[in-house]
Structure 1
């Protein structure tokens, strides 16, 4: 009875003085088996009793202490050294508070990349065309994987579910295929630990990954996405974590629950594969994605982190008409995202499957993502990452000569199947495009058609579902293009 009374009195005293006993807990994404980003501060954050001291001891640096604030939150920064090639030393961090301790063990120091987007980024290793040979060999104890559980939130939250695991055939089979092949390629070239986080969901739209206040601050994005949602009955619903195809399209919910909880993590950069959900948009999609990139960079607070993204693949959308080009105009809008600093697009036109929205050759795309990172982020200038990119057109008589960016064709031009380049069309002043004959001539392509004696414009792979064969001799596919600026016919 006396003990009960004492407890009641302590409770009343705490309530009166505003002192609360907060549970000692660190952020859920901070776990044993994770990779810690090299050469950047490692943030340890969580909750503890307000004003209490938290001691953090990393086995590679001096211990430090910090007090929880008056709301019970704490965050500390630990210096992290550079990763050394071939060094896979297991590390440990102890976090102590009021006689309690949490120990993070089997940690590695290396590079961490966040992969996000919709179903083609979520596409599993076990579904990949190369799964039969790749999965049994996927024993990489120094590649670590974290898949975030799906969640939605109407406000930014700090909790996220998931488990850091070493890469094994079992742990990787349900992981992002593009993400895995990206990380595996980096691992083999860099010989340092690689951490991969997947936090995304199929069918999602870009506006779902943009913070609400950022959407509100831009008139075009507010008008296109935010205000229509806030004025709809859907915005008044109670938001829970359950999946629906409609809910993954709502503005800002996925940012709040799937990206915001990660913003204290130090990263090397982002990989992104999304667009199908916004395919009917043009300029507003370019704006939205660039705005999302800027917002993520600002929230993560690590400068202009690299952002590498995969182009949507050819797909017919249940319309078998080889002249339809609405998806080509969307891909053009998607390509313009790369005008933003430290971004680059990976081309997917040669590995698409015209009647499959989820092409199964994700290995090639993951490797191309890695080649982009190796060249642009890691400074390996000899690693080719660009496919042929149209620079200009010159009319010579009844032919049009296509010149490419020199860097993209310095190894030479070729085709994947040894046949003539496909999916070139040519038009005269009437603006009517006709199928064209295309021939490789050194580092150029010569295009012509008997139906167009005086060429004015050329388009390449500028329809909805062309699976292409033009590439450079490094096997990197040509970027779709058009030399005209004629408005889209809708």
Structure 2
């Protein structure tokens, strides 16, 4: 009897101990030392604790203590007052005699980078541009949050990861594009920059999109079902949204960057709708229509019988033109080897993405900061005159314009010549007396030589829908 009583007491003590651990004051791991919080806006801040308890938060950039209450489910959420760029700051969080202190916190601008391998790659893949940065990677106003590559069947609330300061050790495995964006914006704006890298090589866009949005859309579902099993990456709808994006929802952002599409080339007809669905779902989760910038996929020898990659680039243009607060950079001129799906020139890709942000977000006055994209055609006798979106200045070419084709009503394309007339492109061929349609760089591997006056390449296009 005494043994039984002792056993029961031990069980009760153990249960009490477990409850105390489970109910203790906690934060998401990404609310950590060295983090960057979004400046000049009310800051979303949350965690967990004992239901019904009061949580108090103090920091040196606001005077009054912030108070909130843990809800019946053991979660608390509040907002911290806005503050100006700078730091470092200290945040103290109190609940029922417990205390968490976060040190070396900066207020600045926060960006998230996502997609597949061209966004993921950096020093771990021996990219020279990053390897050259490592010896001097010590800017205290750039902070990194590397999200672990793990999937989940349902939306998660926690990551395994915390923020880190910039060093050779933390930069080496980080996204090269993400780092160079941060470096460019920090240099120009002189504010702290936090970059989150949540990317995974080879992944289709479906895994970054909430599953229910795909399951409830017959078109998206039909293409998602064509994404097959692979040992090196997830393929099930929503898997990485659940584990690598959803935990961060609400963490105040300035903008998002995306480099993906190579794994959706085979299902290109649904890509524009998929991207709009994914982007809108992220914005909805954050309750914030933050700018979303992406990279048009690069030339690569996919060796498809028809130019599927060109069709996907066309879908990307459609998204950029139709979805508000988006922007696309074209990189047909930044490929060193069309047989390598991973172009090594990431720094210039990042500079172009950063420049979109500098104009749209920071209102820096730069003319022709976007690559020209096809707007319309006008048939004039034996030639076709092409007009472009995003083109105020003149077109330029490095030599004779390459990768041009023109066709008549027979839909047979012939090599064509192009001439520049200010901000118009004139296309013609002696083989086609009555032209109907034209194409420019509309292959999987084209690296054409037509640019705006600032050196940004014109996006490949076709004027037909054959």
Offset at residue 33 of structure 1 (A) = 0.4
Residue aligning to 2:293: 308
Offset at residue 438 of structure 1 (A) = 2.0
SS at match of 1:249: coil
Confirm whether residue 335 of structure 1 aligns to residue 317 of structure 2: yes
Contact 1:203 1:249 in 2 (8 A): no
Which digits, 9 at most, give the CA deviation of each residue in 1:252-282, with x for residues without a partner?
Answer: 1111101111003111121111111111123
Offset at residue 81 of structure 1 (A) = 2.1
Offset at residue 19 of structure 1 (A) = 9.5
- The size of the alignment, in residue pairs, is 459
Q: Which runs of 5+ in 2 are unaligned?
A: none
Offset at residue 38 of structure 1 (A) = 1.3
Residue 468 to residue 167, structure 1, CA distance change in 2 (3 Å): farther
Residue 65 to residue 463, structure 1, CA distance change in 2 (3 Å): same
Matches within 5 A, 1:379-458: 379-382=363-366, 384-405=368-389, 407-410=390-393, 412-415=394-397, 418-458=398-438
Residue 315 to residue 38, structure 1, CA distance change in 2 (3 Å): same
Q: Which runs of 5+ in 1 are unaligned?
A: 235-242
| CA distance, structure 1, for counterparts of residue 291 and residue 159 of structure 2 | 23
1:361 to 345, 355, 375: 345
Residue aligning to 1:326: 308
Which digits, 9 at most, give the CA deviation of each residue in 1:32-68, with x for residues without a partner?
Answer: 1010011232233222222222221111112122222
SS at match of 2:33: coil
Contact 1:25 1:48 in 2 (8 A): yes
Which digits, 9 at most, give the CA deviation of each residue in 1:350-407, with x for residues without a partner?
Answer: 11331110111111111111111111222223254212233333333433332334x4
2:327 to 315, 338, 344: 344
Which digits, 9 at most, give the CA deviation of each residue in 1:127-185, with x for residues without a partner?
Answer: 44533544434332101111100111111111112231222333212211111121211
Matches within 5 A, 1:10-21: none
Residue 144 to residue 3, structure 1, CA distance change in 2 (3 Å): farther
Residue aligning to 1:197: 196
Residue aligning to 2:445: 465
SS at match of 2:113: strand
| CA distance, structure 2, for counterparts of residue 376 and residue 137 of structure 1 | 30
Which digits, 9 at most, give the CA deviation of each residue in 1:68-88, with x for residues without a partner?
Answer: 2223222221112243xxxx3
SS at match of 1:248: coil
| CA distance, structure 1, for counterparts of residue 15 and residue 453 of structure 2 | 76
Offset at residue 21 of structure 1 (A) = 5.5
Contact 2:391 2:423 in 1 (8 A): no
Contact 2:31 2:162 in 1 (8 A): no
Residue 9 to residue 362, structure 1, CA distance change in 2 (3 Å): closer
SS at match of 1:445: strand
Confirm whether residue 106 of structure 1 aligns to residue 92 of structure 2: no
Matches within 5 A, 1:169-318: 169-225=168-224, 244-245=231-232, 247-302=233-288, 304-318=289-303
SS at match of 1:280: helix
Residue 256 to residue 430, structure 1, CA distance change in 2 (3 Å): same
Question: Which stretch of the first structure deviates more once superposed, 390-399 or 358-367?
Answer: 390-399
CA RMSD of aligned residues (A): 2.7
Offset at residue 10 of structure 1 (A) = 5.9
Contact 1:144 1:167 in 2 (8 A): yes
Which digits, 9 at most, give the CA deviation of each residue in 1:99-149, with x for residues without a partner?
Answer: 222111111101101110111110115644533544434332101111100
| CA distance, structure 2, for counterparts of residue 170 and residue 26 of structure 1 | 26
Contact 1:42 1:77 in 2 (8 A): yes
Contact 2:122 2:130 in 1 (8 A): no
Q: TM-score, length-normalised on structure 1?
A: 0.87
| CA distance, structure 2, for counterparts of residue 36 and residue 369 of structure 1 | 21
SS at match of 2:376: strand
Residue aligning to 1:374: 358
Contact 2:131 2:172 in 1 (8 A): no
Residue 51 to residue 468, structure 1, CA distance change in 2 (3 Å): same
SS at match of 1:296: helix
Q: TM-score, length-normalised on structure 2?
A: 0.91
Question: Which stretch of the first structure deviates more once superposed, 424-433 or 120-129?
Answer: 120-129
Residue aligning to 1:53: 54
| CA distance, structure 2, for counterparts of residue 89 and residue 147 of structure 1 | 22
| CA distance, structure 2, for counterparts of residue 63 and residue 316 of structure 1 | 59
Residue aligning to 2:142: 143
Contact 1:125 1:173 in 2 (8 A): yes
Contact 1:388 1:409 in 2 (8 A): no
Contact 2:145 2:163 in 1 (8 A): yes
Question: Which stretch of the first structure deviates more once superposed, 334-343 or 142-151?
Answer: 334-343
Contact 2:371 2:452 in 1 (8 A): yes
